Structure 1
Amino acid sequence: MKILGGRFLQILFALLILLRIQTSMGFYSTMAGDEVRCIERERQALLAFKQGLVDKSDRLSSWGSEEEKKECCEWEGVQCSNTTGHVIALDLGFHGLYSRGNLSASLFELQHLTYLNLSWNDFNLGRILESITSLNKIQYLDLRYCNLGGFLPTQLGNLTSLKHLDLSGNKFNIENLEWLSLFSCLQYLDLSKRDLNMVDNYWLQVIKLSRLTELSLNERNLRDVIIPLSIPMINTSTFLAYLDLSFNNLTASTFQWLLSKFNKSLVDLYLSGNQFQGLIPESLGHMTYLETLDLSDNQFEGEIPKSFGNLCKLRYLDLSHNNLDQMLSELIGNFSGCLQLSLEYLVLDGNKIKGPLPNVIKNFSSLQWLSLNNNQLSGALPKSIGLLSKLVQLEMFSNSFNGVITEAHFSTLSKLRYLDMSFNHLSINFSCDWIPPFQLDYIILTSCKLGPKFPSWLKTQREFSYLDISSSGILDSIPKWFWNLSSTAFHVNLSSNQIYGILSNLSTKFSGSFGIGIDLSKNKLEGPLPVFPHNLTSIILSENMFSGSISSLCTITGGKLSFVDVSNNQLFGKLPDCMTQWTSLVILNLANNHLFGKIPSSIGSMSLLESLSLQNNNFSGEIPSSLANCSALQFLDLSDNSFSGIIPAWIGERLSSLTFLLLRSNNFSGDIPLQLCWLRNIMLLDLSNNNLSGSIPWCLQNLTALAQKESSARDHSFADSYLKAGGYYSGSYADKSSVIWKGLERDYWNGNLKNLRIIDLSSNKLTGGIPVHVSILFELVQLNLSRNQLIGRIPADIGQMKQLESLDLSQNQLSGHLPWSMSQLNFLSTLNLSYNNFSGRIPLGAQIQTFDASAFVGNPSLCGLPLTPTCPGDEKSKSKPTDSGGKDNQEDRAEFWKSFKSGMELGAAIGFVGVVAVKFDHPWKHICILFYNNLRVRLRNLKDCLYLLVAAVGLRLREHVSRLGRKLKLFERSVSS
């Protein structure tokens, strides 16, 4: 939104310069009656230039047409001298052109060119060729956002007549900027959005350009000024009026230097997104020519200087996203003076500003934009805010304002277009017959109390494009007039109210070409789904009482639909086979309905699909193979249905982006495919309650997202979805699923799902043992292998899984001793080992002994707390101090020396594996890294063995000392008696 402020001024200023340049050069389009014809070699050069371009929009259709075969001066974007006929201007900015290679060398023929604008086209990382650097009459060169690559040629220094140079937003490499010193006439320079760290402080040399009036170096990773402030800059520009150094790495020293050198010239100063700390300098108040000041996204703290009141020309002030903690009344008081009369835009979002909105704000007679979002403001809104008659935009969301808002607050705000008062404690109480003086474009009143009746004053707002009155306490039906309001709306959100009734036919509403997003979720709407407008980009109707078929979704044919959520309703029937027209769909959620039948193969047409949830319906048949085309899938939930057949191997082969895979409670059979081990991003794998057989894949350690803290899980951005569909939205979407967590079924959203790293293979017919390398999954939080037919031992290294909170191995045929390393599972809060064939002593540990005996029942040969007070042989051990602990201790020692020997052998190989892991490329590199991780675990296990051995020896020694002490006391008593 800052374009309404400083960016608007920047664009306007650039246009004025362009107009001045064009006027001074005396060129204009040739009139129909002119006799001057274009030069043939220049005409051929233009045609050659066109041949190197892909013109999908046909913007250059006039180039070379029969009726204008020789009149290239009449072609789109071409301007010629009205006296010589030479091409002197080529303006193809924003034409959507795509280059087949480098910038064409044919431009060399246009030696009289003084103006060249190729901005916002795509030159496919091509280079700037010498053909451009030879055009030494060029005064205006605009190549911004052209996707240029390679090295920026130093020959650009040949263009000594340049007055305007814009190379921003490209991807070329810059070796040096020495050639900039040759531009003695340069007035405008923009090198933004490219790393200039490699050229060190050459940006200081840029500032030396004596005629420079505008300089933009934002997002350039610039370093601090390293020269002493006392050393003057020779030939420093005295004309510099516009300076943008936003989003660099500059600190206070640079700030002070800028204030000292340009305090008499700067008009627009943008320093947002740097590392400025401490108090805002008082000296800013002496820059009396300032009209725009942007210090947002820094770390300023404390108060705003009183000297700001002297900035009589300041119109735009942005101090948002700092740490200012002043009372709002004091802050406004520091603006007393001429600043009150000049200020038009005041942005203070994201600070710690406190207190109520003072009445004195009415003195800001020029204020057009007031933004106070995300602060600690409180109290009632004063009616004097209605005296800001020029106010266009009012934002104050996420504060603690309270009280009642009446028409008196807005009675004179006839220019108001943008209103956001959401997430406060406000009640909007406008009388039923009140006609507001404004026509709002954006209406955002989330969590404000508007109900219980549907707000009738909205009937007067016929020009809105964005409406959000969610969570506003409406207990009413939607009036018929509502859907006839704004035909240009692109976002309507009435969610989280208690709106009831049946939706009418919406197919003829919202005729705007931009597309429309509708959110009516979490209400009490019922009846069939309506017929929708063809140009919908999103439809969210979840958590209502809709019934009937979902076939009306097939009326959405505009090709922009990116999000459908009709979950948690009473919809039934089969999926319609119309998904071929939803090629932009990113999210499809049909969970918790009564849908049935097979999934149509047309689902594979949705190649952009990232989230698919069909949970808790009655779908049947096999997973359609066409789903393999949806390679962008990250969330796939088919749980609680009647799907059958095998789990297809292509899930692991083709859906490599999967983060959540839930196939719980279906009728899948056969083996678990080894290819699922290729899902390196998977964080939740739930295949429980099926008919799966065979062994657990030995390659589970390949699930690297469960072994490493770093992960690719995301809170799905609804805005990202809309970008892919060419639409717009400012909300967010979180995938939701029902998860069996610590034995209970709970609903989780993506925000907390990504913290529940889970493998659940329970309630199947799996055989064989637990893969020994499962202990490499260091970040696993829940492992559930219960109710299978597993045999063998628990992996000895299971104690390495430090993050485990829930472990369920119950109702299998597992045997052997419980590994001593289980005592290291310090976060374990749920444990179930019941009904197996475990034997021996339960390991002693701070966590294990806190569990109830039910966690160990059904293992007749298992003993020790909390199951039994003692183990067989404990009394015999006490009577024979020389006994080292019986059979259990002998087995423990044998296991220790086995681990010790194994660890020594593995340690000898670890160096070799480390070298191989570095040298080899994929796939050997990945295999070696996995092997290396296994070695590392083994050696860590060896270290733990040594630690426990030392601890055991110490314990034995202490016991012997204690026994010796008791014997001495007995001896003393016998002597004394």
Structure 2
Amino acid sequence: MEYWSSCLMFLLTLVLLLSQSLIDSSTPSPSNNFLCHPAESSALLQFINSFIINPKTVSWKNGTDCCLWDGVSCDHISGHVIGLDLSSGGLQGPLHSNSALFSLIHLQTLILDFNDFSCSPIPPEIGSFANMKTLSLFFANFSGYIPEEISHLSKLSHLTIFGNIDDCHFLMGPFVLKKMLQNFTNLMELTMNNIDMSGVELVSSFMNVSSSLTTLDLYQCGLRGKFPENVFRLPNLQELRLGINPYSPFSGNLTGSLPMFNWSSPLWYLDLSDTKISIDLPYMCSSAKSLQILFLSNCSFKGSSNSAMLTNLTQLVELSVLVINSNNFGGHIPLFFLNLQQLTILYLSGNNFVGKIPEFPKANSSQSPLQLNLEQLIISDNLLSESIPSWVYSLPHLKYLGLNNNKLIGPIKEFHSKSLVWLNLGSNKLHGQIPNSIFQQKNLGNINLSHNSLDGVLELSKFSMLKNLRRLDLSFNNFTVSTNKYSNNDSFPQLFYLGLASCNISEFPYFLRNMKSLVIVDLRSNMIEGPLPTVPPSMSIFFISNNALSGEIPSTYCNLSELEILDVSNNSIHGKIPSCLGNKFSLSVLDLHTNNFWGEIPHDMFEKLTNLRSLHLSNNHLDGSLPRSLRSCQSLEVLDVGNNKINDTFPHWLEDLPMLRVLV
């Protein structure tokens, strides 16, 4: 009996030892019980230390488990690093081909959005990640050609590459997209924006696109040629963005047409704006009934291009965003828009709509204006007349209202809600006074009521209740703006644009002098007297022409380091032109015409003004010769020194200015 007991104990001990051995063999770190592999931890530190700043990686410390670091994900069994999310990580500097990043061969997710890789190219080693499923390079400041090796990522399901047109230019070779779409058999989402694809042959590239594709976003890529119809027929395609093709600087010309038979699409997001793709609107609405977001600005429609065509949109009962700017439909705005209960954003600008904005139906209606969900209503740049209907003022969630550049008449009525963020009613024929409800919109940041016939006496102090106000334009109305009772310097903490041209102002609003955020001020065509006022050092653009100013240009104007435009024309300012204005490297427009300036134009004034585009000095008392330093103004387009006392030979040397178009 003891023999069998001993044997049993031996077998149990052996099983325990074998089990422990198996456990030990699967444990990645034999010494510190970390899940992370030491080699991968070292590679991560080496990778991150190759950049200038990395605030997101404070938790990345040697001797700790890298699987617990911010942005790092590990397989919970093997311990290998399979995910790296360094979006907004502050990485700055190029990504080199020998980067330790490429030793992390088990990576399945790599997200490098919102970093600055200094316009370096994407290294071809990006194709070495055999297990990669998600790759995102959104606003990461890469540039150059997208490497062909990226097509080796055969398991990829989500790819995002977003170029920066202003600085870092992305390009795609003629066959790269074709190889990508052939090999990405599991592809679900493809987003490639701001990439020069003008050399890509579209029909052959999309020949074998994965049927699992749900999102295709090729916005602003200079696509040329016919867009393949088979893409519209993909069975799972839900989002398609082809907007702004053509687009400068890529100069694409995207053509094609939507399917005309046997097309039933799950699309809920469609953007064909600024393309030449032919659209049969009635058939599209009957075939893609799931549409919720629709962008069709500046498009090519089959059939008559008038507002009657828009009535076909009634089938899109789930539509929440509709943007159909710049299509010149003409006619009246269809009333049915008010029956789209899910609609939150409606843009109808630039369509030559005439007549009035439709009134909300009163009879046999199950919906009142208070039930409309509109948050953005933009119908600018049309030919609309009559008054603004009352339902617009009753919208409970309205944030953005743009009815500018029409022929609307009548008063501005009281808004029922306090949700406005942006208001533009400029360039109409509105009259009466500004309603008190505007001063109660606590979130209002932009107000444009310029070029109307508003009247009465307006205390500027009323706007001081709007602490988020950034832009205020009241120019060219019939009211008198009073600033006499107002001296608080802190009540417009965010204001950067103030337009008070032709507002019957008799005194400069002196509270403006200490406003640190103010950048643009327009006080043209008023009755302001006295010396040219001191302005805040943040001022960049200052219009104060057509007033009754006198005295000289104050020396403080030489301290305006960001000055771009200075227009003090049509006043009675005298004295010599301060040569210190020549230190304003940013100066683009200098307009001093029709004043009483005398003496010579400072000869050394223009040596540094390489950005100067327009110089107006006419109708003064200037004498002497024309400064040869004007040769340095290589951007100069307009030079007007007429009606002075300049004594010189004809300035043939001005032929050195390549941009000069107007010479007086």
The answer as to 2:409 corresponding to 1:402 is yes
3-state SS of 2:264 partner: coil
- Which residue identity lines up with residue 171 of structure 2 in the other structure? F
Listed as ranges, the matches of 1:264-413 within 5 Å are 264-276=265-277, 280-300=281-301, 301-302=305-306, 303-328=308-333, 331-333=334-336, 335=337, 340-360=340-360, 363=369, 365-407=372-414, 410=415, 412-413=416-417
> Contact 2:543–2:566 at 8 Å: present in 1 too?
yes
TM-score normalised by length of structure 1? 0.56
Alignment TM-score, normalising by the size of structure 2: 0.79
- CA RMSD in angstroms, aligned pairs only: 3.8
The offset of 1:629, in angstroms, is: 2.3
- 1:625 alignment counterpart: 604
Letter of the 2:630 counterpart: I
Contact 2:132 2:156 in 1 (8 A): yes
Is 1:524 aligned with 2:527? yes
What code does the residue aligned with 2:587 have?
L
- Separation of aligned partners in 2, 1:147 and 1:433: 45
Deviation at 1:199, TM superposition (A): 2.4
Aligned to 1:171: 170
Contact 1:322 1:350 in 2 (8 A): yes
Retained in 2: the 8 A contact 1:47–1:64? no
3-state SS of 2:607 partner: helix
What residue identity is the alignment partner of 1:440? Answer: L
SS in 1 for 2:606: helix
Q: Which has the higher contact order (CA 8 A, sep 6+)?
A: 2
Q: Any idea what the Cα deviations from partners look like across 1:712-753, whole Å, max 9, x if unmatched?
A: xxxxxxxxxxxxxxxxxxxxxxxxxxxxxxxxxxxxxxxxxx
Q: Distance in 2 between matches of 1:298 and 1:523?
A: 44
CA distance in 2, matches of 1:525, 1:184: 71
Q: Is the 8 A contact 1:285 1:309 kept in 2?
A: no
1:651 aligns with 2:630: yes
Aligned partner of 1:429 in structure 2 is: 433
User: Measured at CA, do residues 206 and 595 of structure 1 come closer, stay the same or move farther in structure 2, by a change above 3 Å?
Assistant: farther
- State the AA in 2 paired with 1:562: E
Whether 2:533 is the aligned partner of 1:540: answer no
Name 1:497's counterpart in structure 2. 503
Inter-partner Cα distance in structure 2 for 1:413 and 1:657: 49
1:199 and 2:200 matched: yes
Query: 1:212 is paired with a residue of what secondary structure?
Result: coil
Task: Give yes or no for the alignment of 1:566 onto 2:565.
Answer: no
SS at match of 1:111: coil
1:74 offset after TM fit, Å?
9.7
Gap change, CA 1:226 and 1:241, over 3 Å in 2: closer
Structure-1 separation of matches of 2:441 and 2:605: 56
Q: Quick one: structure 1 residues 210 and 279, their matched pair in 2 at CA, closer, same or farther if it must change by over 3 Å?
A: closer
SS in 2 for 1:317: strand
Query: 1:596 aligned to 576, 586, 590, which one?
Result: 576
Residue 143 of structure 2 is aligned to residue 142 of structure 1: no
Q: Which residue of 1 aligns with 2:186?
A: 185
CA distance in 1, matches of 2:56, 2:437: 57
In structure 2, the residue corresponding to 1:400 is in which secondary structure?
coil
2:253·2:276 contact (CA, 8 Å) conserved in 1?
A: yes
Letter in 1 for 2:528: L
Seen in structure 2, the aligned counterparts of structure 1 residues 458 and 479 have a Cα distance that, compared at 3 Å, is farther
Three-state SS of the structure 2 residue aligned to 1:304 is helix
Which sections of structure 2, spanning at least 5 residues, go unmatched? Answer: 1-31, 164-168, 247-251, 362-367
Instruction: Indicate the structure with greater helix content.
Output: 1
- Tell me: CA distance 1:73–1:605, structure 2 relative to 1, closer, same or farther (3 Å): farther
Is 1:417 matched up with 2:411? no
Give how far 1:104 is off: 5.4
Deviation of 1:134 (Å): 0.7
Any idea what SS the aligned residue of 1:166 has?
strand
1:580 aligns with none
Change (3 A) 1:277 1:206: closer
CA-CA distance at 1:645 after TM superposition:
5.2
Q: Give the C-alpha shift of residue 263 in structure 1.
A: 3.5
Q: Which runs of 5+ in 1 are unaligned?
A: 1-32, 571-592, 687-977
Aligned to 1:467: 472
C-alpha distance after superposition, 1:696-724 (max 9, x if no partner) = xxxxxxxxxxxxxxxxxxxxxxxxxxxxx
**Hey, what does 1:642 align to over in structure 2?**
622
Bigger Rg over Cα: 1
Q: Which runs of 4+ in 1 moved over 6 A?
A: 62-65, 74-77, 250-253, 431-435
Q: CA deviation at 1:316?
A: 0.5
Matched, 1:608 2:607: no
Q: Which residue of 2 aligns with 1:448?
A: 452
Instruction: Judge conservation of contact 1:286–1:307 (CA < 8 Å) in 2.
Output: no
Change beyond 3 A, Cα 1:420–1:657 = closer
CA distance in 2: counterparts of 1:277 and 1:434, whole angstroms: 43
Following superposition, the deviation at residue 98 of structure 1 comes to 4.8
Matched-pair contact (CA < 8 Å) for 2:612–2:636: yes
Sort the Cα spacing of 1:405 and 1:148 in 2 relative to 1 into closer, same or farther, 3 A. Answer: closer
Match of 1:495, as an amino acid? Answer: A
Structure 2 counterpart of 1:248 = 245
Q: Tell me the CA shift for residue 546 of structure 1.
A: 3.4
* Displacement of 1:545: 2.6
Deviations 1:170-222 (A, max 9, x none): 42232212322211222211123334342212576278312211111122333
Quote the offset at 1:133 in angstroms: 1.3
Structure-2 separation of matches of 1:252 and 1:151 = 21
Partners of 1:195 and 1:271 lie apart in 2 by: 18
Residues matched between the structures, number = 605
Alpha carbons of 1:261 and 1:479: their partners in 2 closer, same or farther (altered >3 Å)?
A: farther
1:448-504 alpha-carbon deviations (Å, 9 max, x no partner)? 333230157646544322211111212242253486543222222111221123432
Q: What aligned pairs does 1:899-938 form with structure 2 within 5 A after superposition? A: none
Query: Is 1:406–1:429's contact at 8 Å kept on the other side of the alignment?
Result: no
